[in-house]
């Protein structure tokens, strides 16, 4: 599949959150097609050495003259265009896009910032499919800044900018197959207003690259702000910190210092900050997060504005404590007191900062919780999966794939009828096995059946595996023995959540009025629900059971975090996954089905967990797990119950406060 990815500034150097998002989009698209990057650098010079081979670069520098910028802004407002759109159009970008797409003949065009409006219609005429990465609805956020300005001219400008952006956002849908947003709220609102298909592609960071900041040796009595200092809301936040919050803090803690880290501060702002005691300005540094980790906590008193919220994601990935406003985390799933601290007034900010300094252990727990959420929800692969799904959907399934999907899902088809016949035949065979293998050598702890030998099971016809009465396999019988020794974990008691349960667990659990079973596939359990986004309140369940589920889920970290969230403080999760080797292997997660079947034992598995790191993955999600080795725990029952002595399952309890 040929893909054209068209943006304004080049993704490299990554001097802003939007550039990092473009990098992620480019990387994800490259996994499913041949991508050509087309860019029109206007605000920064591209790092040509780092751009992908075959990239097409058309520099159209933004004017340096203040007068020319003001005139261009006025023209853009009159035309109801984004000012950077107007700049690119005035310099011939529309015709360049037209000629480039005519030459490339892509199957799909993805338009990034600020290639909206007329560029969408142009791409639509030359490309079968057009996606627009709009990120967010900025119009309302820009208009909200009206109340933050003291000067009349600034308030008028904010109103005009907000009105223009509203128009830009509405016209962005004209000709687009799909529009991408950072948050579900913006996606839902846009879809309701325009009727255009939307998709949530969250902002993410590469969490692994922030590991080096976890133990930085932070400077005492210091706070830090990180943000582009040519961005209005960031400048407002830096001024509020330095002129209002810091003096109040220093009246209580005279040694307190503020580090402000950002690119392109204006000379006026730099001079202003230089006159304030306790403020240190670090401009255009190569590694802003190194300074954030050294001087943290990160304090971000954002009163309005939009953006990628990258500073919060990066700080959370680096385990830096965070204090911000509700505006600072709008669209993100971090929670006050659990992951970070939310403040509104200057006094509340000072109190929150002192709380972090005075109780470092509580600050550490919040930072760990924020880190776990970042791993599960905002790691790079989450956006990659969403983008891949969009592109694969545009490409469309082959007729063979569609026929196969119909055969598997339509109950009126021959395949579905054959499946029902096979299921009935299997039940008959189990009944016949029970009648012809009488004896007492084996006893099923799940249903109590005594038999000479259990029935074979699986493609390879594993002997002595399945109880012909209740259908239990080795792992189910081991669980039944464990529950016998720990009756408080019986599914027939307490508030139980069973995820993709087997029939014998479902039959026993449904005797309990507080039992709930869920499955992603409709009709297989009591409710259809996604383990990555459980529609259940916090601390709702005494027991969660998930046997051979997590290896099927791409975002298993998010699923683990959801399990921890719905568990009550004294609750228990019983989890089992296939284990092999020491380290988890996810190399073939995106490989064809036959490869995954060979490497991970089943075509629908996306990983093989490692014995050495599975508990660590649970720990990062807030679950403290103990491994139960079946051969050791039930040594005297291994033969009589026909257990697998090498099997391991985990009993986990919640550690998140």
Range with lowest mean pLDDT among 165-179, 285-299, 456-470: 165-179
User: What pLDDT, on a 0 to 100 scale, did the predictor assign at position 274?
Assistant: 93
Of residues 166, 165, 168, 145, the one with CA closest to residue 156: 145
185 & 275 share domain? no
pLDDT band at 401 (very low <50, low <70, confident <90, very high): very low
Is it the case that residue 189 has pLDDT exceeding 80?
yes
Q: Which long-range contacts (CB under 8 A, 24 or more apart) does 197-202 make?
A: 199/386, 199/389, 199/390, 200/386, 201/25, 201/133, 201/383, 201/386, 201/387, 201/390, 202/377, 202/378, 202/382, 202/383, 202/386
Is it the case that residue 71 has pLDDT exceeding 60?
yes
Query: Which of 333, 348, 372 is the endpoint of a domain?
Result: 372
Q: Which of 181-190, 354-363, 376-385, 392-401 is most confident?
A: 354-363
Residue % of the chain over a pLDDT of 90: 49
> What b/e sequence results for 173-203 when a residue is b if at least 16 CB atoms lie within 10 Å of its CB, and e otherwise?
bebbbbbbbbbeebbeebbeebebbbbbbbb
User: What pLDDT, on a 0 to 100 scale, did the predictor assign at position 60?
Assistant: 93
Q: How far apart are CA 586 and CA 464, in angstroms?
A: 32
Domain count, the chain: 3
The answer to whether residue 263 sits within a structural domain is yes
Is it the case that residue 43 has pLDDT exceeding 90?
no
Q: Are 112 and 90 in contact (CB under 8 A)?
A: no
User: What pLDDT, on a 0 to 100 scale, did the predictor assign at position 420?
Assistant: 43
pLDDT in tens, 589-647: 988 878 888 899 888 899 999 998 999 999 999 999 999 999 999 999 999 999 999 99
Q: How far apart are CA 603 and CA 593, in angstroms?
A: 5
User: What pLDDT, on a 0 to 100 scale, did the predictor assign at position 426?
Assistant: 64
192 & 211 share domain? no
In eight-state DSSP terms, residue 241 is I
212 & 123 share domain? no
- Sort 440 into a burial class: Cβ within 10 Å, 0-12 / 13-18 / 19+: exposed
pLDDT in tens, 122-159: 898 889 899 999 988 877 666 555 565 667 766 776 67
User: CATH no. for residue 53?
Assistant: 3.40.50.11930
Query: Which of 177, 202, 227 is the endpoint of a domain?
Result: 202
User: CATH no. for residue 258?
Assistant: 3.40.50.2000
pLDDT in tens, 465-509: 999 988 888 988 999 899 889 888 888 788 999 998 877 777 778
505 & 567 share domain? yes
Instruction: Decide which of 196 and 423 is more confident.
Output: 196
The answer to whether residue 405 sits within a structural domain is no
**DSSP strands (E only) in 548-614:** 567-576
The answer to whether residue 440 sits within a structural domain is no
Q: What is the mean pLDDT of the chain?
A: 86
At residue 544, φ and ψ (nearest 5 deg) are -125, 130
20 & 58 share domain? yes
How crowded is residue 535: how many other Cβ atoms within 10 Å of its Cβ? 9
pLDDT in tens, 261-298: 998 898 899 999 999 999 999 998 888 889 999 998 99
49 & 168 share domain? yes
196 & 270 share domain? no
The answer to whether residue 392 sits within a structural domain is no
Q: Are 224 and 297 in contact (CB under 8 A)?
A: yes
The answer to whether residue 191 sits within a structural domain is yes
The answer to whether residue 596 sits within a structural domain is yes
136 & 238 share domain? no
Instruction: Decide which of 525 and 615 is more confident.
Output: 615
The answer to whether residue 415 sits within a structural domain is no
Q: How far apart are CA 469 and CA 568, in angstroms?
A: 34
90 & 213 share domain? no
Is it the case that residue 216 has pLDDT exceeding 60?
no
> Is the pTM of the predicted complex or chain greater than 0.75?
no
Q: Which residues pair with 111 in a beta bridge?
A: 6, 132
pLDDT band at 376 (very low <50, low <70, confident <90, very high): confident
Quick one: tokens of 113? 């910032």
Query: Which of 136, 168, 202 is the endpoint of a domain?
Result: 202
Q: How far apart are CA 110 and CA 201, in angstroms?
A: 13
Q: What is the DSSP string of 437-453?
A: S--SSEE-TTT--EESS
Give the mean pLDDT of 294-304: 88
User: CATH no. for residue 614?
Assistant: 3.40.50.150
User: What pLDDT, on a 0 to 100 scale, did the predictor assign at position 31?
Assistant: 87
**Parent domain of 585:** 473-654
The answer to whether residue 380 sits within a structural domain is no
80 & 111 share domain? yes
Q: Are 556 and 609 in contact (CB under 8 A)?
A: no
pLDDT band at 568 (very low <50, low <70, confident <90, very high): very high
Is it the case that residue 46 has pLDDT exceeding 60?
yes
197 & 212 share domain? no
Is it the case that residue 438 has pLDDT exceeding 70?
yes
Range with lowest mean pLDDT among 36-40, 145-149, 456-460: 145-149
155 & 261 share domain? no
Is it the case that residue 406 has pLDDT exceeding 70?
no
């Amino acid at each position: 599949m040929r893909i054209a990815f068209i943006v304004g500034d080049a993704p490299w150097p990554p001097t802003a959150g939007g550039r990092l998002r473009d990098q992620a989009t480019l990387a994800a698209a490259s996994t499913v097609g041949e991508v050509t990057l087309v860019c029109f650098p206007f605000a920064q010079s591209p790092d040509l050495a780092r751009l992908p081979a075959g990239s097409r670069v058309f520099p159209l520098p933004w004017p340096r003259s203040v007068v020319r910028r003001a005139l261009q802004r006025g023209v853009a407002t009159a035309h109801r265009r984004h000012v950077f759109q107007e700049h690119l159009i005035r310099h011939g970008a529309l015709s360049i896009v037209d000629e480039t797409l005519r030459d490339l003949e892509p199957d799909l065009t993805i338009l990034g910032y600020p290639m909206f409006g007329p560029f969408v219609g142009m791409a639509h005429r030359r490309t079968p499919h057009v996606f627009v990465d709009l990120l967010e609805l900025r119009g309302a956020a820009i208009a909200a800044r009206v109340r933050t300005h003291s000067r009349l001219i600034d308030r008028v400008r904010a109103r005009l900018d907000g009105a223009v952006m509203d128009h830009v956002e509405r016209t962005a849908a004209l000709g687009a197959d799909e529009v991408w947003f950072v948050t579900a709220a913006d996606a839902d609102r846009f879809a309701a207003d325009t009727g255009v298909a939307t998709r949530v592609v969250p902002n993410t960071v590469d969490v692994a690259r922030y590991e080096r900041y976890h133990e930085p040796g932070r400077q005492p009595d210091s706070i830090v702000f990180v943000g582009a200092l040519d961005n209005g809301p960031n400048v407002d936040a830096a001024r509020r910190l330095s002129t209002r919050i810091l003096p109040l803090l220093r009246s209580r803690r005279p040694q307190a210092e503020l580090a402000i880290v950002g690119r392109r501060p204006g000379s006026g702002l730099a001079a202003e900050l230089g006159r304030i005691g306790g403020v240190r300005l670090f401009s255009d540094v190569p590694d802003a997060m190194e300074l954030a980790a050294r001087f943290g906590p990160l304090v971000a008193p954002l009163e309005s504005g939009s953006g990628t919220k990258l500073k919060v994601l990066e700080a959370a990935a680096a385990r830096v404590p965070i204090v911000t406003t509700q505006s600072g985390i709008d669209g993100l799933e971090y929670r006050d007191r659990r992951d970070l601290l939310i403040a509104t007034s200057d006094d509340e900010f000072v109190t929150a900062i002192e709380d972090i300094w005075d109780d470092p252990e509580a600050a550490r727990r919040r930072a760990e919780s924020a880190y776990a959420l970042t791993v599960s929800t905002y790691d790079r692969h989450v956006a990659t999966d969403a983008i891949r799904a969009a592109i694969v959907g545009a490409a469309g399934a082959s007729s063979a794939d569609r026929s196969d999907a119909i055969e598997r899902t339509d109950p009126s088809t021959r395949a579905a009828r054959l499946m029902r016949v096979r299921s009935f035949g299997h039940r008959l065979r189990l009944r016949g096995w029970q009648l012809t293998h009488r004896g007492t050598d084996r006893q099923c702890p799940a249903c109590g059946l005594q038999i000479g030998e259990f029935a074979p099971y699986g493609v390879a016809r594993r002997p002595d595996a399945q109880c012909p009465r209740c259908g239990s396999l080795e792992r189910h019988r081991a669980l039944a023995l464990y529950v016998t020794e720990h009756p408080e974990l019986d599914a027939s008691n307490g508030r139980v959540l069973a995820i993709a349960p087997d029939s014998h667990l479902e039959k026993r659990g449904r005797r309990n009025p507080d039992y709930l079973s869920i499955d992603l596939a409709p009709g297989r359990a009591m409710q259809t629900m996604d383990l990555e986004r459980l529609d259940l309140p916090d601390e709702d369940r005494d027991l969660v059971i998930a046997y051979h589920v997590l290896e099927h889920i791409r975002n298993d970290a998010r699923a683990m975090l959801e399990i921890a969230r719905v568990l009550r403080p004294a609750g228990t999760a019983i989890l089992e996954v296939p284990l092999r080797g020491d380290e988890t292997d996810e190399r073939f997660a995106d490989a064809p089905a036959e490869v995954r079947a060979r490497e991970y034992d089943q075509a629908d598995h996306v990983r093989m967990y490692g014995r050495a790191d599975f508990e660590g993955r649970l720990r990062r999600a807030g679950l403290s797990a103990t491994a139960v080795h079946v051969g050791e725990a039930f040594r005297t029952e291994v033969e009589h119950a026909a257990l697998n002595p090498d099997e391991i399952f985990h009993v986990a309890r919640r550690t998140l406060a």
